[in-house]
Structure 1
Amino acid sequence: MKAATLTKKTSALCLSALLAFAGAAPAYADSISLVRDAETEQMLRDYSTPIWRAAGLVPSSVRVHLVMDPGINAFVAGGQRMFINTGLITQSDEPMELIGVIAHETGHMAGGHLARGQEAMGKLALPYYASMIAGLGAIIAGAGDAGMAILAGGSQVAMRSMLTYSRQQEGSADQAGATYLQRAGLSGKGMLLLFEKFRDQEALSTQQQDPFIRSHPISEDRLASLEERVKASPYFDKPDPPESIHHFKMVQAKLNGFVDAPDVTFRRYPSSDQSDYAHYGRAVAYHKAGDNEKALSELEFLLKKDPKNPYLWELKGQIQFEGGKVAESVPSYRQSLALKPNEPQFQLSLAQSMLAVEKPEFDREALGYLQESVKHDSENPFAFYQLSIAYSRQNNIGMAELSTAQYYEAIGAMKDARMHAEKAQSLLKAGSPEWLRAQDIVTARNEMEDR
């Protein structure tokens, strides 16, 4: 897991987007902080894939994003993107709770609620605008009290209408999610358990409520309807497999180690705890505290038990690299990639390590890994940044400029992206695929300026 995060704009949320009109949209409406971790992302995809298939979605078309946020929340956005907070993972008691939320969000995605919600917002806003015009007219005419009453009444009607629509969509997503879980042979008990935890939170002020409640209002009727549906499934009492529970706890420990301060992690996983996940969490915490010898010692305990775990080797490489032992990190990253050959984040990490060693014999190999990495994960800005370095080492300045342009494009800095794309075009063969890619970036920037 990389501690550095990427701030990325997003314009759509789960049905909480409906509340934006009323001024109650979560902070994600402006920006979210994304973090990358191959192990966590793979776990989420493992949980999600059978549900997506049951919903008629193509798994390869759905993107899962990990949001660095301690709150329990998840949402979907346009382009079949699912966002899951780190807090939802760390605060779930068992895999089935997380899986239940994934099924619910898949219900929104497969049901087209995002597009329909935006359309509904437009329709629901009309009564509010009409009352606003009438109220202002009354105020201008001298009937101030009557005008203010009209404005307040119109706002309340719009709010009630939007909340009703939101509850309908949430209930629909519940039922769809329960259906997908049953089709996939999975229990819906986790969805019920998690929602029951928040049964009483609707009575709290919005400042005290968990973000999940603000974006997923849970009524008694909705909970009762969901309970009836999931208990009717023949898989209701099907437990999570032991290996799934173990992996889930391992991922929780890793996330806790990275997200929390080291002293918090050490209290959660004291030295007396000799479980695998306690060693995992402490390894990360010691690394964050700057004690890499203890971090590697905790990790070696796990590697002796599970030497074919690619994520343990990846973490070892990260600890070595960030601890200044760059050359020693190369074999560790090599091992992680050997155990999981097509993982783009492993390819990126190994390439970064090789480039940092600054040995010419590593440079061309690193370039190959980076080319493969961006081929399978074209939304990682850091991969393009490293690719620009690798191309520069090969004296391929045209491709280095294109990679730099793609880096800026990925982080949304379109002015800089256009500048480097134009430089790339001047150095690349006109009409080549690379030249055309640079042209796309220039054109995209021009279109933004014309709006």
Structure 2
Amino acid sequence: MHPRLKGLTAAILLGLATSVPAHAEDNTLPSLGGVGGGLISEQKEAAIGEQVLRSLRRSTRQIGDPITLDYLSSIVYRLVPYAPLQNRDLRMVVIDSPAINAFAVPGGVIGVNGGLFLNARTEQQFAAVMAHELAHLAQRHYARQLEQQENMTPLTIAGMLAGIILSAATQSDVGIATVAGTQAMAVQNMLQYSRSNEQEADRVGLDIMEDAGLDPHGMPEMFEIMMRQSRIQGNAIPEYLSTHPLTRSRISDSRNRANQFPDRNYQDSLEYHLVRARLLVHYAQSPEKAVEIFQTYRDGSSELPDAAVQYGLAVAYLGAGDTKQAETILRTLLEEHPGRITFQVTLADTMMRAGKLDDAITLMQDARQRNPGNYPILYQLAAVQYQADHAAEAAEIYRELTKQYPDNAGLWQKLSDAEGQARNIIGVHRARAEFYLLMGDREAAVRQLREAREKASPGTPTHEIISQRLAQISRNRDESPL
């Protein structure tokens, strides 16, 4: 990969706060207004976001774990009320890569690599990266970059962004063909402008952190982690530092600004460390190796809280197929933390894998009564119902989830499977159609919907709904701003 293109990940869209303000007292920010003022319309920004998401779905492995996704959503929406966003309808993505990376692109798409959880040792550090990304969206930095590229269409930008994200996520040349095919030189033209936005995003991000009750010192602490990793890797500079090498003065500047905020008693949530434990297991060499690692953590040598160490060991045992050990640990954790959803959901998963399907269903149904609409609970309940050959019940839950999370391609796949097991052929075609749309295959989606319409009796509500969906797809294609 061209060395300049490799480094653009941080500067253009990953925005991992690698440049900090030199003057902490300067809080003046430009007024961007609405869709006027020369900026591209929010409709085009949304279309760019959709295009990037489709590219990522087709080209990258993503982490679909509902516990991880639910946590990411919760921490982002803890920050959102304090970010000056015009559009607060955000979509979350977790890329399955152990490298540190995060990104925000037009249309309200927020993403992280799984590796950010591995390297951010506290919730405050993790939240600092999310606050920085929200600041990029709030200040519409990408809209400004697009405005400067007079010869580039939003579709071209969408292709470049997807290619750069893909290259960063995979740490290979797999995405560079996308960039090269969409005016790669224009990316370099955007470099300096992106650098000027970093100071603004850092400053706004620190304010968001403080207002949300999170520790702004998480930002300089994250800088320190990046600096240490850069030293360890030697000449192989991490991608997020390729264009913005960290210096001690930059770390000092960010800490000075953080020091201007009042002292508070900041506490990490346990949930962050439980999610981090899950991903430490996920990225271990093997489940058996993860068991060894978490067994050694029991002596207090890990920065993880004790409950997270025990939980990580349970998840490792589960991955290694030792459901008995996993269940024992999880039941003990639930005695110490009654009603904690992550422990309940993981216990139900353990029971399911051990063949205790009725017990798992009962556990999740009870949890659902106390927490209706909770994503991890509903997801796990549907999985157990499907495993127990209760396909109709599973399909009903998946239909509920797809209404809540219509952009989740994995949910549509599971709905299609459940509808097939329940012998609802029309439902299979409709679910597959939505999956194909999310993957960017409009023709396949239309074929599925036409087959569904042929099987539906004319004049019935189902036939009319399918016809309306077909018409909507046609309109969306004709009206696309790209």
Coarse TM-score class (shorter-chain normalised): 0.7 to 0.9
The answer (yes or no) to whether the contact 1:72–1:85 under 8 Å persists in 2 is: yes
Segments of structure 1 that go 5 or more residues without pairing to the other structure are 1-11, 20-26, 125-156
Shift of 1:306: 2.0
| 1:335-390 CA-partner distances (Å, limit 9, x unpaired) | 443342202343233223223322xxx44433332221111111223332333344
Map 1:181-200 onto structure 2 (within 5 A).
181-199=209-227
Return closer, same or farther for 1:374/1:192 CA change in 2, 3 Å cut-off: same
| CA–CA separation in structure 2 for the residues paired with 1:219 and 1:271 | 35
Shift of 1:293: 1.6
Map 1:240-389 onto structure 2 (within 5 A).
240-241=266-267, 244-260=268-284, 261-270=286-295, 273=298, 275-358=306-389, 362-389=390-417
Shift of 1:207: 6.6
Return closer, same or farther for 1:271/1:213 CA change in 2, 3 Å cut-off: closer
| CA–CA separation in structure 1 for the residues paired with 2:478 and 2:395 | 31
Map 1:180-219 onto structure 2 (within 5 A).
180-199=208-227, 208-214=236-242, 218=246
| 1:260-310 CA-partner distances (Å, limit 9, x unpaired) | 222432343116717221221111111211222222222222122223112
Q: What value does the CA root-mean-square deviation take over the aligned residues? A: 3.8
Q: SS where residue 61 of structure 2 aligns?
A: strand
The answer (yes or no) to whether the contact 1:421–1:442 under 8 Å persists in 2 is: no
- One of 66, 69, 72 as aligned partner of 1:38: 66
Shift of 1:246: 3.1
| CA–CA separation in structure 1 for the residues paired with 2:75 and 2:95 | 17
Q: Which amino acid aligns with 1:97?
A: Q
- One of 58, 82, 96 as aligned partner of 2:124: 96
- % identical aligned pairs: 24
| 1:192-231 CA-partner distances (Å, limit 9, x unpaired) | 1111333477789997222332376545665454333222
TM-score w.r.t. length of structure 1: 0.75
Shift of 1:96: 1.0
| 1:382-422 CA-partner distances (Å, limit 9, x unpaired) | 33233334445665433332122112323444443232111
Return closer, same or farther for 1:18/1:230 CA change in 2, 3 Å cut-off: closer
Shift of 1:59: 8.3
| 1:294-336 CA-partner distances (Å, limit 9, x unpaired) | 2222222212222311221211222233455444432233244
Number of matched pairs: 394
Q: Which amino acid aligns with 1:264?
A: K
Q: SS where residue 62 of structure 2 aligns?
A: strand
| CA–CA separation in structure 1 for the residues paired with 2:432 and 2:95 | 25
Structure with larger Rg? 1
Q: Which amino acid aligns with 1:251?
A: V
| CA–CA separation in structure 2 for the residues paired with 1:177 and 1:84 | 16
| CA–CA separation in structure 2 for the residues paired with 1:96 and 1:65 | 20
Larger relative contact order (Cα-Cα within 8 Å, sequence gap ≥ 6): 2
The answer (yes or no) to whether the contact 2:323–2:353 under 8 Å persists in 1 is: no
- Corresponding position: 1:48 with 2:76: yes
Question: What does residue 5 of structure 1 align with?
Answer: none
| CA–CA separation in structure 1 for the residues paired with 2:233 and 2:282 | 30
| CA–CA separation in structure 2 for the residues paired with 1:277 and 1:32 | 29
The answer (yes or no) to whether the contact 1:313–1:332 under 8 Å persists in 2 is: yes
Shift of 1:158: 8.6
Which 10-residue stretch deviates more, 217-226 or 316-325? 217-226
Q: Which amino acid aligns with 1:382?
A: G
Q: Which amino acid aligns with 2:383?
A: Q
| CA–CA separation in structure 2 for the residues paired with 1:159 and 1:369 | 44
Shift of 1:18: 10
Q: SS where residue 242 of structure 2 aligns?
A: helix
Question: What does residue 24 of structure 1 align with?
Answer: none
Question: What does residue 465 of structure 2 align with?
Answer: 433
| CA–CA separation in structure 2 for the residues paired with 1:442 and 1:331 | 44
Shift of 1:34: 1.5
| CA–CA separation in structure 2 for the residues paired with 1:178 and 1:59 | 20
Return closer, same or farther for 1:18/1:308 CA change in 2, 3 Å cut-off: closer
Question: What does residue 95 of structure 2 align with?
Answer: 67
Shift of 1:66: 1.9
Return closer, same or farther for 1:417/1:425 CA change in 2, 3 Å cut-off: same
Shift of 1:74: 0.8
- One of 256, 279, 282 as aligned partner of 1:228: 256
Segments of structure 2 that go 5 or more residues without pairing to the other structure are 1-7, 16-54, 153-184, 300-305
TM-score w.r.t. length of structure 2: 0.70
Q: SS where residue 369 of structure 2 aligns?
A: helix
Question: What does residue 139 of structure 2 align with?
Answer: 111
| CA–CA separation in structure 2 for the residues paired with 1:266 and 1:96 | 27
Question: What does residue 161 of structure 2 align with?
Answer: none
Q: SS where residue 295 of structure 2 aligns?
A: coil
